């Protein structure tokens, strides 16, 4: 199968029951976005179009298909949190995705406790092993290439504080695999990262003339090169 997307309606010609795009860009980290309206109503929602985009300064982005409560709240207040969704919290994460009314707090809906943030007003999910506190940098509306009228909004946030459960810090390094983070696949599929699925690779080192490269054998020595 090989098909073009130049024509805005061409993607419907793949012949499958559902568009395969999201099944091919996988796994994707889940942005479990916490926000608060000006009136103080909390909101929590998972977004599968999410990732870190810079580390200096640390910045993340998520995009919302449709102007959902998260986007409206962040536009109003300029702040949000991103808690890590994990295997232990899968049911709560899933329930928090329900398209309920704006006055419903998904933390309560999903029976998730909140914990106060250090810098921003929206709280984090207390049971989550890590969380990022963010200030809005910019929102960008993306183009729609089909006949859908839903606005796609990309939200960029600068990370202003980080929470990490000390139980997952070992020898000065975060053991992310031990947190069992969830990842989004295609359709309604998810995957879980565990310690036995994590591999460590040394970066290749270029030769002096930049014409070849070698990789140091053995485990990583903890030095970035």
> pLDDT of 115-156, one tens digit each?
999 999 999 999 999 999 999 999 999 987 666 678 899 999
Q: Per the domain annotation, does 4 fall within a domain?
A: no
Band of the pLDDT at 218, cuts 50, 70, 90? confident
Residue 217 included in any domain: no
- Whether the model pTM is above 0.95: no
Helix locations, the chain, DSSP H: 21-24, 69-77, 90-95, 106-109
* Per-residue pLDDT, 145: 67
User: Residues 50-108: pLDDT tens digits?
Assistant: 999 999 999 999 999 988 999 999 999 999 999 999 999 999 999 999 999 999 999 99
Q: Are 62 and 33 in contact (CB under 8 A)?
A: yes
Please check whether residue 212 lies inside any domain of the structure. Answer: no
Identify whether 22 is part of a domain: yes
What is the maximum alpha-carbon separation in the chain? 62
CA–CA distance, 192 with 154 (Å, rounded to integer)? 25
Q: Considering its fold, how many domains does the chain have in total?
A: 1
Q: Is residue 51 part of a domain?
A: yes
**What is the Cα–Cα distance from 220 to 180, expressed in whole angstroms?**
22
∠ CA 150-153-158 to the nearest 5 degrees? 165
173 occurs within a structural domain: yes
- Give ∠ CA 105-58-154 in degrees, rounded to 5: 55
Range of the domain at 19: 10-198
The dihedral sign for the CA sequence 149, 63, 113, 110: positive
Contacts of 5 (CB under 8 A, 6+ apart): 11, 145
Where does the pLDDT of residue 31 fall: very low under 50, low under 70, confident under 90, or very high at 90 and above? very high
Answer whether residue 112 is part of any domain.
yes
Residue 206 in any domain: the answer is no
CATH assignment of the domain containing 117: 2.30.110.10
């Amino acid at each position: 199968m090989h098909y073009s997307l130049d024509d805005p309606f061409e993607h419907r010609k793949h012949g499958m029951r559902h568009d395969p795009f999201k099944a091919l860009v996988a796994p994707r980290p889940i942005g479990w976005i916490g926000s608060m309206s000006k009136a103080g109503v909390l909101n929590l929602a998972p977004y599968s179009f999410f990732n870190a985009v810079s580390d200096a300064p640390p910045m993340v982005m998520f995009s919302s298909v449709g102007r959902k409560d998260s986007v409206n709240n962040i536009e109003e207040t300029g702040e949000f949190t991103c808690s890590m969704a994990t295997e232990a919290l899968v049911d709560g994460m899933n329930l928090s995705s329900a398209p309920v009314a704006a006055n419903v707090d998904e933390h309560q809906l999903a029976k998730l406790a909140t914990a106060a943030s250090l810098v921003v007003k929206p709280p984090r999910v207390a049971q989550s092993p890590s969380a990022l506190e963010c200030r809005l940098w910019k929102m960008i509306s993306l183009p729609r290439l089909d006949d859908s009228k839903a606005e796609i909004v990309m939200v960029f946030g600068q990370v202003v504080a980080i929470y990490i459960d000390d139980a997952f810090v070992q020898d000065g390094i975060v053991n992310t695999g031990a947190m069992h983070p969830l990842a989004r696949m295609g359709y309604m599929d998810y995957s879980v990262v565990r310690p036995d699925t994590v591999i460590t690779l040394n970066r290749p080192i270029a030769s002096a003339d930049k014409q070849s490269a070698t990789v140091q054998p053995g485990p990583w020595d903890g030095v970035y090169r």
